[in-house]
Chains A and B, each alone.
Chain A
Amino acid sequence: MSEKATVLFVDDEERILRSLKSMFRTEYNVLTTTSGHEALGMIRNQRVHVVVSDQRMPVMLGVDLLREVKNISPISMRILLTGYADKEAVIGSINEGEIYRYVSKPWCADDIRNAVYNAAEIAKKSEKIIFDSESITGKELIMVLDEDPGVAGFISQSVASEFSNRYDVEWVTSLEKAMNVLDRKAVAVIVTELNLAGDDIGMFIKSLKMHAPDIITIVTSSFQDINTLVGLINEGQIFRFLPKPLRHGMLCMALNGAFRRYQAIKECPSLLSRHKVEVPKPSSIVEGTLAWRIKDMIGNMYRKKSAVA
Chain B
Amino acid sequence: MKSDNSISTLIIAAMSVTPNHTINDVAQLFLLPENKKLLCLPIINDNGLLLGTLSRQRLQEIFMARFGRELYGRHKVTKVMNSTPLMVEKNSSIEDAAEYVSTKIEVPITEDFVIVDNGRYVGIGFVLDLLKAMKERVHARNNELADAYRHLKESQAQLIQSEKMASLGQMVAGVAHEINTPLGYVRNNVELTRSTIIEVRKILNVFENTFALLLSGTADENVLQNEIEQLEQMRTNFYEVNPLDDLDQLFDDTLYGIGQISEIVLGLKNFSRLDQAAVANININQCIENTLIIAKNVLKHKCDVIKQFAELPTISCSPSQINQVFLNLLTNAVQAIEQYGTITIATWSDGNYVYARVADNGKGISEGNLSKIFDPFFTTKPIGQGTGLGLSIVYNIIEQHHGRIKVESKLDIGTQFTICLPCSKDDANTAGTSESTTKEEIQIESTGTLSHIDIFSTPEPKENIQSESASYVSTVDILDKEKSESELDLKSEAKEYTNLLPKVVPIEPASNQPNVYLRFVGVVAVISILSGIWYFFSTSNTKVPELPAPAPQPMVQPVKMEQMPQPPSVKAPEPPAPTPQPMQPMVQPVKVEQMPQPPNELQSTTPDYILALSPENLSTRLTATPQPIRQEAEANLYAYIQKIPKRNKLVNWEAYRRLVILNPNKNLYRTKANFFALSAKKQP
Across-interface contacts of A84 in B (CB, < 8 A): 173-174, 176-177, 180
Is there contact, CB below 8 Å, between B180 and A105?
yes
Q: In this assembly, does A254 line the interface, its C-beta being within 8 Å of a C-beta of chain B?
A: no
Interface positions, chain A 42-85, Cβ under 8 Å from B, are 56-59, 81-84
Across-interface contacts of B187 in A (CB, < 8 A): 106-109
Is there contact, CB below 8 Å, between B183 and A109?
no
Q: In this assembly, does A290 line the interface, its C-beta being within 8 Å of a C-beta of chain B?
A: no
Q: In this assembly, does B118 line the interface, its C-beta being within 8 Å of a C-beta of chain A?
A: no
The one of B176, B178, B191, B300 in contact with A109, judged by C-beta atoms closer than 8 angstroms, is: B191
How far in angstroms is the closest Cβ of chain B from A96? 21
Q: In this assembly, does A268 line the interface, its C-beta being within 8 Å of a C-beta of chain B?
A: no
Q: In this assembly, does A20 line the interface, its C-beta being within 8 Å of a C-beta of chain B?
A: yes
Is there contact, CB below 8 Å, between A105 and B184?
yes
Q: Which of chain A's residues has its CB closest to B176's CB?
A: A84
Is there contact, CB below 8 Å, between A19 and B185?
yes
Is there contact, CB below 8 Å, between B249 and A18?
yes
Across-interface contacts of B192 in A (CB, < 8 A): 19, 22-23, 109
Is there contact, CB below 8 Å, between A23 and B188?
yes
Residue-wise, chain A 84-113 has the 8 Å CB interface mask toward B (1 for contact) of 100000000000000000001111110010
Q: In this assembly, does B186 line the interface, its C-beta being within 8 Å of a C-beta of chain A?
A: yes
Is there contact, CB below 8 Å, between A83 and B185?
no
Q: Which of chain B's residues has its CB closest to A104's CB?
A: B180
How distant is the Cα of A57 from the Cα of B187 in the complex, in angstroms?
21
Query: Most A CB atoms within 10 A — which of B174, B184, B250?
Result: B184
Query: Most B CB atoms within 10 A — which of A15, A18, A56, A59?
Result: A15
Q: In this assembly, does A178 line the interface, its C-beta being within 8 Å of a C-beta of chain B?
A: no
Q: In this assembly, does A284 line the interface, its C-beta being within 8 Å of a C-beta of chain B?
A: no
How distant is the Cα of A82 from the Cα of B181 in the complex, in angstroms?
8
How distant is the Cα of A22 from the Cα of B256 in the complex, in angstroms?
17
Across-interface contacts of A83 in B (CB, < 8 A): 176-181, 183-184
The one of B176, B177, B253 in contact with A19, judged by C-beta atoms closer than 8 angstroms, is: B253
Q: Which of chain B's residues has its CB closest to A107's CB?
A: B184
Residue-wise, chain B 222-261 has the 8 Å CB interface mask toward A (1 for contact) of 0000000000000000000101001001100100110000
Q: In this assembly, does A289 line the interface, its C-beta being within 8 Å of a C-beta of chain B?
A: no
Chain B at the A interface: mostly helix, strand, loop or mixed? helix
How distant is the Cα of A224 from the Cα of B178 in the complex, in angstroms?
23
Q: Which of chain B's residues has its CB closest to A56's CB?
A: B177
How distant is the Cα of A52 from the Cα of B187 in the complex, in angstroms?
18
Q: In this assembly, does A26 line the interface, its C-beta being within 8 Å of a C-beta of chain B?
A: yes
How distant is the Cα of A107 from the Cα of B181 in the complex, in angstroms?
10
Is there contact, CB below 8 Å, between A15 and B253?
yes
Q: Which of chain B's residues has its CB closest to A61's CB?
A: B301
Q: In this assembly, does A31 line the interface, its C-beta being within 8 Å of a C-beta of chain B?
A: no
User: With A83-B177, A109-B188, A109-B192 as given contacts, are A22 and B183 in contact (CB-CB < 8 Å)?
Assistant: no
How distant is the Cα of A22 from the Cα of B553 in the complex, in angstroms?
64
Across-interface contacts of B246 in A (CB, < 8 A): 18, 22
Is there contact, CB below 8 Å, between A18 and B253?
yes
Across-interface contacts of B253 in A (CB, < 8 A): 15, 18-19
Q: In this assembly, does B267 line the interface, its C-beta being within 8 Å of a C-beta of chain A?
A: no
User: With A105-B180, A106-B183 as given contacts, are A19 and B250 in contact (CB-CB < 8 Å)?
Assistant: yes
Is there contact, CB below 8 Å, between B241 and A26?
yes
Is there contact, CB below 8 Å, between B176 and A16?
no
Across-interface contacts of A108 in B (CB, < 8 A): 187
User: With A19-B188, A106-B186, A109-B188 as given contacts, are A13 and B181 in contact (CB-CB < 8 Å)?
Assistant: yes
User: With A83-B176, A83-B184, A109-B191 as given contacts, are A58 and B301 in contact (CB-CB < 8 Å)?
Assistant: yes
Q: Could you list which residues of chain B lie within 8 angstroms of chain A, going by C-beta atoms?
A: 173-174, 176-189, 191-192, 241, 243, 246, 249-250, 253, 256-257, 300-301
Q: Could you list which residues of chain A lie within 8 angstroms of chain B, going by C-beta atoms?
A: 13, 15-16, 18-20, 22-23, 26, 56-59, 81-84, 104-109, 112
Selected A-B contacts with CB under 8 Å, 20 pairs: A13-B185, A15-B182, A15-B185, A15-B256, A16-B181, A18-B185, A18-B246, A18-B250, A19-B185, A22-B243, A22-B249, A22-B250, A56-B177, A83-B176, A83-B184, A84-B180, A104-B180, A105-B180, A105-B181, A106-B183
